[in-house]
Homo-oligomer: A and B are copies of this chain.
């Protein structure tokens, strides 16, 4: 079969520029080619299109099950936070709560010029901000709900939108509005809180590796990189194909900071009032950016089967109208049989040319493409291709064999994607022994992260200079190194 044109420009890859040529532009173009999201007319915000949103729905579905197994309960708290709540926690404000959307009026009215404008008569006595995160408002509820040690632990989560005014937005990675889950747990003791913060990080690690097939380095943030108000921030750091790090989820041991500012107290068994200990933990739509930059190639997106909107796409190759009815009937039957096996499947019934259908599916990163034409039906066979294997992945098998093995094929692809990314990650982290090597590495604009003794950078003026000069950040102190080593890298 002749290789069809990859795109109208007949370039060698479906996405131009390639990752090698211009990684940031490649990223934008993969999102566009896969039809996942676009910039909104509202500055810094995005529109998550159906194909991108379906990934988020799958993330929600699977991760929600995992947190419910941890006895976390979902709830919903208000979008707007009164200014006085935010003002309560000084460290929190200084950290990041300043760049936020401020609501000052509650009505529009026509002004002198006959234009619609905020009605001066509707000015709020206390301005409110759109939540950048909800520690302060959920803290108020915890204050009301927690009375006795019997009310603890209290584990709450909400799936919602939040806003942080971004000056340099990037779709999925850094947007003024984004979707996330934010968990907020309260405990009777410091030990339980720290155990919980670490446990939720482990749940993130498992989810991100097993569902998104993105390998991560779990560890602690350095004190400077902690969430404002936290006594420990735990993080799972991924590395993208361009060697930059992406913080994929964080879990914070908030100590008694918010328990103190929100007055979350409980009557202990010994009859005394005690201050609770809290944690918070979040993962957002930015993980979809990480998914793209981990798995995508120069032909577009590659979806890990466990979160793919469609795990299989059936491509009916219709040469003439006479074929159409039997081929579509055959495809419908296949779809039904795949669905019975709990495999998500779509048929591309469009009028597009076969090669265009194929390339659309490639750019969208559908894990398995199934080609069905008159010849396949006559032979009782189907041709399928795994997205991650390219031409070598093309297999011709009987319909029965396809149906019997598709589950395994998808599982293998899921495993292979993780393994490939893990091998890459291992090659992306280099061990160094001096700040001189650190400077040389970043001065030469090398790709990847460095691991070195934490003692080398702590309080070091030279490291501060390197950070400044090359926009390098400390990513984490990996658990694997018992806090003795630090990973430094450029980051998203």
Question: Contact residues of A with B, CB < 8 Å?
Answer: 40-42, 45-50, 53-54, 56-57, 73-83, 85-87, 93, 97-109, 115-118, 122, 127-130, 137, 140-141, 150, 156, 160-161, 163, 165, 177, 179, 350-351
Q: Which residues of B contact A350 (CB under 8 A)?
A: 150
Q: Which residues of B contact A76 (CB under 8 A)?
A: 47-48, 53, 56, 179
CB-based contact B107/A40 at 8 Å: no
Instruction: Pick the most buried of A53, A108, A177: most chain B CB atoms within 10 A of its CB.
Output: A108
CB-based contact A74/B47 at 8 Å: no
CB-based contact A108/B104 at 8 Å: no
Instruction: Pick the most buried of A56, A102, A117, A122: most chain B CB atoms within 10 A of its CB.
Output: A102
CB-based contact A79/B156 at 8 Å: no
18 A–B pairs (Cβ distance < 8 Å), ordered by A: A40-B77, A40-B137, A41-B85, A42-B80, A42-B128, A45-B79, A45-B80, A50-B75, A53-B75, A78-B177, A83-B116, A87-B116, A93-B116, A98-B107, A98-B108, A130-B130, A150-B350, A160-B161
CB-based contact B108/A129 at 8 Å: yes
A40–B99 CA distance with the chains assembled, in angstroms: 24
Instruction: Decide yes or no: A100 and B104 within 8 Å by CB, A41-B82, A79-B161, A127-B118 being known contacts.
Output: no
CB-based contact B81/A116 at 8 Å: no
Q: Which of B86, B102, B106, B116 contacts A106 (CB 8 A)?
A: B102
Q: Which residues of B contact A82 (CB under 8 A)?
A: 41-42
Distance from A106 Cβ to chain B, minimum over Cβ atoms (Å): 4
CB-based contact A47/B103 at 8 Å: no
Instruction: Decide yes or no: A47 and B93 within 8 Å by CB, A53-B74, A102-B108 being known contacts.
Output: no
Q: Which of B49, B75, B129 contacts A75 (CB 8 A)?
A: B49
Distance from A85 Cβ to chain B, minimum over Cβ atoms (Å): 8
CB-based contact A101/B106 at 8 Å: yes
Q: Which residues of B contact A103 (CB under 8 A)?
A: 101-104, 130
Distance from A137 Cβ to chain B, minimum over Cβ atoms (Å): 8
With A47-B78, A79-B130, A83-B116 given, can you name 8 additional A-B contacts, CB distance below 8 Å? Answer: A47-B76, A86-B108, A99-B106, A100-B108, A101-B103, A102-B103, A102-B104, A150-B351
Q: Which of B75, B80, B105 contacts A177 (CB 8 A)?
A: B80
